[in-house]
């Protein structure tokens, strides 16, 4: 059995141990924490991206474009239903 040095606290850990008996450090936990940090960083980036869009007025522009698209779609559907049932509008 070999003794390894814990990456986190520097204490001695058996190479067979799942986690450090001194600080609880383990590869799984380190991996878990790394993923959380990664997710946090991603959502921070999205936040920054959104703020940039908001500041440049781009967000407003996109919202308006989406609204217009929706309105156009509703109009199409409405017109279609009129064309299918011409008797209803006379």
Among 5, 18, 22, 27, binds Zn ion (CB under 5 A): 22
Nearer to Zn ion, 23 or 53 (CB): 23
Q: Is 25 in the site for Zn ion (CB under 5 A)?
A: yes
Binding map of Zn ion across residues 44-83, x = CB under 5 A, - = no contact: ----------------------------------------
Q: How many residues bind Zn ion (CB under 5 A)?
A: 8
Strand locations in the chain, DSSP E? Answer: 3-5, 12-14
| Residues pairing with 14 in the sheet | 3
Q: How far is CA 70 from CA 3, 60, 62, 75, 81, in A?
A: 66, 15, 12, 9, 17
SS3 content of the chain, % helix, strand, coil (to 5): 70, 5, 25
Q: Is 17 in the site for Zn ion (CB under 5 A)?
A: no
Binding residues for Zn ion, per CB under 5 A? 6, 8-9, 11, 20, 22-23, 25
């Amino acid at each position: 059995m070999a003794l390894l040095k814990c990456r986190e606290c520097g204490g001695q850990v058996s190479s067979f141990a799942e986690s450090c008996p001194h600080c609880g450090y383990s590869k799984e936990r380190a991996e878990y924490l790394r993923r959380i940090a990664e997710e946090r960083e991603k959502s921070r980036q999205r936040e920054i991206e959104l703020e940039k869009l908001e500041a440049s007025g781009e967000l407003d522009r996109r919202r308006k474009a989406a609204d217009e698209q929706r309105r156009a779609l509703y109009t199409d559907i409405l017109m279609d239903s009129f064309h299918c049932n011409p008797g209803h509008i006379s």
